[in-house]
Amino acid sequence: MNPGRIRVLIEKDWAELRKERAMIATTLGVTLLLVVVFLAVAIYVPRIGDAGVPDRAGQLLLLRQLVLLLLMVPEFATMAIATYSVIGEKRARSLEPLLATPITTAELLAAKFLSAAIPGIALTWLAFGVSALAVWGLTSADVARLALSGDVLLLVFVIAPLVALLGAGLGVIASSRASDPRSAQQIGVLVIVPLVGLLILQLEGLLSLTPDAILAGAAVLAAGVLLLLRIGVALFRRETILTRWR
C-alpha cells in the first residue's frame, strides 16, 4: 500500500466534504445538543431529599452511560460520509479515471475508510472535551474523577476510533455494492446494534467495562477493521461498477 496515494484521496474527499456546510453544521449541532441534554439530565436530575442535594451515585451511574453514547456519536458523521463515498464517485462518473491511475483497490478503500472515520472520531473527541469540561465544572471532584477515569479514556481514545473505522468500513462496503445511499445507510447502521447492546448490558449490571475487557475488545475491533478491509477488497467489483452503473 502506498500511504501517499491514500493521503491524496483522503484530502480530496475532505476538500469535497468541506463544501457540504449544511451537513457539517447539522451533524455538529445535533451531536452537541445530544451531549448537552444528556449531561444536563445526568448532572441535575439525580437529587436526594427536599433540599435537592445532588445524588453522587446517581450522577456517576448516568455519566458512565454517557461514554457509550459518545461511542455512538462518530457513527452519525461517519455513516453519512461512508455510505456516499463510493456511490458519490459512481454518480460523478469519476471512478473510471480514478481506477485508471496506479491506485489499488486496497488503497482506494483504505482512503475511503479513513476519510469517513476521521471526522467521526474528531466529533467524538470534541463531544468528549465538552462533556469533560462540564463534568469538572458542574459536579464534585470525586464524581468527576470517577466519571473520567482511565477506563473511560480508553473507551474514548481507543475504542471510539475503532468503532468509527468499523462503521466506516461497513458503510464504504455497502456503498460499493449499493446503487443508492439510502440502502447503503440501512446496511451501515448495523454497527449501532452492538453498541446499544453494550449500553443495555451495562445498565442491567451484566457487563463491567474493565481496562482488560476494553483492551481485549479493542484487539477484536482492530482485527475486525482489517478483516473488513480485506472483505471490502474482495467484494469490490470494479468491472461491474464500470460496466453496469447507469
Partner 1 sequence: MIRVRNLTRRFDGVTAVQDLSFDVAPGEILGLLGPNGAGKTTTLRMLAALISPTAGEATVCGHRLGEDDPGVRRSIGLLTETPGLYDRLSARKNLEVYARLHGVADPAGRAGHYLELLDLGGRREEPVGTFSRGMRQKLALARALLHEPRVLLLDEPTAGLDPRIARLVRDWIEELRQGGRTILLSTHNLEEAERLCDRVALLRTRLVALDRPAALRGLFSGGRTIVRLAQPDGGIRFAAALRALPFVTEVEAQGDALVVSVDQPEEDTPALVRALVEAGAEVIEVSPERRTLEEAYLQLMTEGPS
Query: DSSP readout, the chain?
Result: --HHHHHHHHHHHHHHHTT-HHHHHHHHHHHHHHHHHHHHHHHHS-EETTTTEE-HHHHHHHHHHHHHHHHHHHHHHHHHHHHHHHHHHHHTT-HHHHHTSS--HHHHHHHHHHHHHHHHHHHHHHHHHHHHHHHHHHS-HHHHHHHT-HHHHHIIIIIHHHHHHHHHHHHHHHHHH-SSHHHHHHHHGGGHHHHHHHHHHHHTT-----HHHHHHHHHHHHHHHHHHHHHHHHH--HHHHHHH--
Of the residues 34, 61, 69, 103, which one makes contact with partner 1 according to CB under 8 A: 103
Restricting to residues 41-80, name those near partner 1 by CB under 8 A: none
In this chain, which stretch among 37-45, 127-135, 184-192, 234-242 interacts with partner 1, using CB under 8 A? 234-242
Which CB atom, from 33 or from 235, has the smaller least distance to partner 1?
235
Of the residues 12, 23, 179, 224, which one makes contact with partner 1 according to CB under 8 A: 12
5 binds partner 1 (CB under 8 A): yes
96 binds partner 1 (CB under 8 A): yes
In this chain, which stretch among 33-41, 61-69, 97-105, 199-207 interacts with partner 1, using CB under 8 A? 97-105
22 binds partner 1 (CB under 8 A): no
Of the residues 25, 40, 94, 211, which one makes contact with partner 1 according to CB under 8 A: 94
Q: Report the nearest approach of partner 1 to the CB of residue 245 (Å).
A: 11
Which CB atom, from 3 or from 129, has the smaller least distance to partner 1?
3
